[in-house]
Structure 1
């Protein structure tokens, strides 16, 4: 009679295997239709995740239900490595996102963001030409600034708007530049003598393909958004980590059952 722990491990991995199929299929579909750098950037991680889940779930499924101890051992080893990685990433996420807050601007409903307020590690990652090129492409593809322009807000409504970090950092010039508002993505520069020393003021362009995408404030806005997302991911990771530890414990029981059954066959009536 198959024991409860073997049944649970097999069932959980069967469900994981079913989950891996749409994930893998979605990654392959995305790779075939990807037309932008942003879309191409996502397909490989999705395919890798789908393949990983499929292989690990098959190892756990066969190992538990078919009593194949060496496959169950591989499954437990991978699970242990995954637990360590999730734990380390969760701690790392809390550490690197501990710094950095938006600055309240007088008379404005939105906040502004400074790149120097964030951790050095995040600054280096986002400032890399290779990384920023991909991020910039994604920002343009998302049309987040165009959607803001399409609202055609009057100046008072725009200044009172609760802009997202990316909208605040990438779609408009910093408030210190003292530019004159024409529309959400169109601002008139003042004479050079009155422009702030902030280099973002000279980087700003009314060209819809440029705007403030190369500004330090835009990179800071991306990090502010990333920080918010990583905080959520870290909380989810804690729940996921608890789940992994429970599954790993059940898997250890199933592995012990396999070893006992392989070493000491249970004859009818033998305890």
Structure 2
């Protein structure tokens, strides 16, 4: 029985290593996404989870394969703390992402999205805006996609075209003027305001738009909404990653408790 339990835990921890490495890779991938380039805390949560699993699996291997109860105790104690942390992180992520950023005819709106998520994504907007400009968020590729969906007759974005399938939420909110302002696209980087001098909407983002590469719509509410939507997406990914991680941790923790109990019983039998 002791050999069977220890061998099972040992195999489970080797599998944990195979799970921890992809988790770290997912975190690194999230860092490359537009919603996280200037909001680096979210990917680091996933990376930290993967790193913690990697450390725990090594302790578990030493405790189960080598039958060192000290490492096994540390392993189970840390895993218990991690299970609690994963549960808290998972519940929190689902709560703050329960409401989506609103998509309207005029563009992205903060709408009913979580107040906490809004503050988290936009509280240091000057720094975020600077980061967006430095990382060239509105690249030539983005302008090509915008031109692809543009109505050549009116210069306006077709309402039936789903811009959000082509661009990330951040790009959709920051790299073009709002749909309802009446701007006409002259070329990939220049939009002409209505000749009458009056915008076709009272949307404050109409006045915030600038054709300058350092201006664009970075100061628009739609840009902030796009950033919130991007951050929400990453929080959602983190939540579902935590669901899978929690299920696996509970299984391995149960096996670990069994192995720890068997190791102690075997020690007393030898004594």
TM class by smaller structure: 0.7 to 0.9
Aligned-residue offset at 1:173:
1.6
After superposition, the Cα gap between the structure-2 partners of 1:116 and 1:234, relative to the gap in structure 1 and judged at 3 Å, is same
Decide whether the 8 Å contact of 2:101 with 2:112 is kept in 1. yes
Gaps of 5+ in 2: 29-35
1:73-84 equivalences under 5 Å are: 73-84=73-84
Decide whether the 8 Å contact of 2:24 with 2:51 is kept in 1. yes
After superposition, the Cα gap between the structure-2 partners of 1:55 and 1:234, relative to the gap in structure 1 and judged at 3 Å, is closer
Distance in 2, matches of 1:78 and 1:91, equals 20
Please list the CA deviations of residues 9-61 of structure 1 after superposition, one character each: whole Å capped at 9, or x if unmatched: 21222344466679889999xxxxxxxx949958x948756653443222111
Question: Which has the larger displacement, 117-126 or 188-197?
Answer: 188-197
Which position in structure 2 is the counterpart of 1:227?
232
Distance in 2, matches of 1:47 and 1:240, equals 13
TM-score when scaled to structure 2?
0.75
Which position in structure 2 is the counterpart of 1:7?
7
Gaps of 5+ in 1: 29-36, 106-110, 267-271
Which position in structure 2 is the counterpart of 1:207?
212
The equivalent position to 1:181 in structure 2, one of 173, 180, 185, is 185
After superposition, the Cα gap between the structure-2 partners of 1:184 and 1:118, relative to the gap in structure 1 and judged at 3 Å, is farther
Aligned-residue offset at 1:5:
2.0
TM-score when scaled to structure 1?
0.75
1:187 aligns to what SS in structure 2? Answer: strand
Distance in 2, matches of 1:26 and 1:174, equals 33
Decide whether the 8 Å contact of 1:140 with 1:209 is kept in 2. no
Aligned-residue offset at 1:179:
2.1
- Output the aligned Cα RMSD: 3.7
Aligned-residue offset at 1:195:
6.6
Higher relative contact order (CA 8 A, sep 6+): 2
Decide whether the 8 Å contact of 1:172 with 1:184 is kept in 2. no
Distance in 1, matches of 2:136 and 2:122, equals 20
After superposition, the Cα gap between the structure-2 partners of 1:227 and 1:39, relative to the gap in structure 1 and judged at 3 Å, is closer
Please list the CA deviations of residues 148-190 of structure 1 after superposition, one character each: whole Å capped at 9, or x if unmatched: 2135437317435322222321111222322223245432224
